[in-house]
C-alpha cells in the first residue's frame, strides 16, 4: 500500500493501502472522539514471508479470514489504516503487488472496511466497501501470465466460494518482478504503530490460510506449501501488542489488546 508500504501506501517504509466510502453493514461507526490520537507516522508490519532459493517468486494465494475489531487512531489527516494483505514484492526496489482488506476512515470521517488491490508503488484501489461482514473468508490470488513477450501479474479476487476456481481479475498490467529479486508476503500493516490496534485477537486472529487451502507460493513451476518466515522485529515497532504466528502454511496475526 501507499499508505506506507513495504510497500508504499501513504507512506510505507514498505507497503500498504486504502481509501474508503461506506460504513459496513452491521459494524458500528466509531466517533473519532472515542479513538486514541495518532502519533507521528510510523509503519509496522507483522506476518511472514517466503522466497525461492534464487529469489524469484511467481505468485501467492491464500484464503484470508477477515476480522473487524481493530481500533483506528485520529488526526487531522484521517490517514490511519490497518490492513491485512498478501503480496509479491521486490526485495531490491520499491515495487509491490498486493490484494487484501483495508480498515480506515472514509471521506465522511467514519470507519469502514473495504477490499483493495495495489500495484507499483502501492497506491490502493478500494472496492466492495461495507460488503464483507466480520469473520468472512475471501480467497485472494496473485499469479502470472504471459503476453507480448512479457510476464505480468494477474491480481484476483476469488470470492467466498471456498476455492480459487471462480476469480475476478482486479488488475493485470503490472510487469512481474521475476528479474528483480522478489518475495511473497502475508502481512498485516498500519501506519501509526501502537496507537492503532491491528485486527484480530489471540482467540480469533486474522488468518491467512486454513485447513483446506494454505498460504502458498508459486516458484515458477508449481503452487505448493512453503516455509514461511516470521518477519523480524525490525518490521514491528509495537512488538508488545502486534503478534504473529506460523503453523505450516497457516499464518495468523493479531493485536494482544483486542478481546473479541
Counting residues of the chain whose pLDDT is more than 70, the rounded percentage is: 87
Q: Which domain holds residue 247?
A: 2-255
| 212, part of any domain | yes
Q: So what's the pLDDT on residue 1?
A: 67
Q: Using CA atoms, how far apart are residues 257 and 255, in angstroms rounded to an integer?
A: 5
Residue 182 is classified by DSSP as E
| 142, part of any domain | yes
Confidence of residue 179 (pLDDT cuts 50, 70, 90): confident
| 114, part of any domain | yes
**Grid cell at residue 48:** 511472514
Q: Using CA atoms, how far apart are residues 139 and 249, in angstroms rounded to an integer?
A: 15
DSSP string for residues in 115-166: EEEEETTTEEEEESTT-S-TT-EEEEEEEEEEETTEEEEEEEE-TTSSSSSS
Judge contact between 102 and 115, C-beta under 8 A.
yes
**Grid cell at residue 106:** 472514509
| 211, part of any domain | yes
| 260, part of any domain | no
Q: What's the mean per-residue pLDDT of the chain?
A: 88
| 168, part of any domain | yes
| 72, part of any domain | yes
How confident is the model over 98-155, as pLDDT tens digits? 999 999 999 898 999 999 999 998 889 999 999 999 999 999 999 999 999 999 999 9
How confident is the model over 7-66, as pLDDT tens digits? 433 333 333 333 333 333 344 444 455 789 999 999 999 999 999 999 999 999 999 999
Q: pTM of the prediction?
A: 0.87
Collapsed DSSP state (helix, strand, coil) of residue 33: helix
Q: Residues 165-187: what's their mean pLDDT?
A: 95
Characterize the bridge pairing of strands 10-14 and 2-5.
Answer: parallel
Collapsed DSSP state (helix, strand, coil) of residue 109: coil
| 98, part of any domain | yes
Q: How many domains does the chain have?
A: 1
Lowest mean pLDDT among 18-27, 121-130, 224-233, 240-249: 18-27
Query: Is residue 156 over pLDDT 70?
Result: yes
Counting residues of the chain whose pLDDT is more than 90, the rounded percentage is: 80
Amino acid at each position: 500500500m501507499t499508505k506506507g508500504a513495504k510497500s508504499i501506501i501513504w507512506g510505507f517504509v514498505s507497503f500498504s493501502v486504502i481509501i474508503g466510502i461506506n460504513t459496513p453493514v452491521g459494524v458500528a461507526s466509531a466517533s473519532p472522539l472515542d479513538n486514541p490520537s495518532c502519533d507521528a507516522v510510523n509503519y509496522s508490519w507483522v506476518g511472514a514471508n517466503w522466497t525461492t532459493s534464487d529469489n524469484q517468486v511467481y505468485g501467492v494465494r491464500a484464503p484470508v479470514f477477515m476480522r473487524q475489531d481493530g481500533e483506528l487512531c485520529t488526526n487531522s489527516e484521517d490517514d490511519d489504516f490497518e490492513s491485512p494483505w498478501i503480496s509479491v514484492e521486490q526485495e531490491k526496489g520499491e515495487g509491490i503487488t498486493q490484494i487484501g482488506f483495508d480498515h480506515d476512515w472514509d471521506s465522511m470521517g467514519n470507519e469502514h472496511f473495504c477490499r483493495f488491490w495495489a500495484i507499483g508503488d502501492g497506491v490502493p484501489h478500494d472496492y466492495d466497501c461495507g460488503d464483507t461482514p466480520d469473520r468472512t473468508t475471501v480467497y485472494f490470488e496473485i499469479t502470472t501470465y504471459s503476453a507480448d513477450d512479457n510476464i505480468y501479474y494477474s491480481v484476483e479476487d476469488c470470492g467466498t466460494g471456498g476455492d480459487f476456481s471462480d476469480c475476478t481479475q482486479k488488475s493485470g498490467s503490472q510487469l512481474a518482478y521475476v528479474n528483480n529479486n522478489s518475495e511473497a508476503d502475508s502481512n498485516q500493516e498500519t501506519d501509526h504503530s501502537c496507537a492503532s490496534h491491528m485486527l484480530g485477537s489471540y482467540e480469533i486472529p486474522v488468518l491467512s490460510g486454513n485447513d483446506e487451502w494454505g498460504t502458498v507460493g508459486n516458484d515458477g513451476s508449481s503452487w505448493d506449501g512453503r516455509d514461511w518466515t516470521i518477519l523480524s522485529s525490525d518490521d514491528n515497532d509495537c512488538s508488545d501488542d502486534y503478534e504473529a504466528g506460523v503453523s505450516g502454511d497457516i499464518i495468523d496475526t493479531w493485536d494482544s489488546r483486542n478481546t473479541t
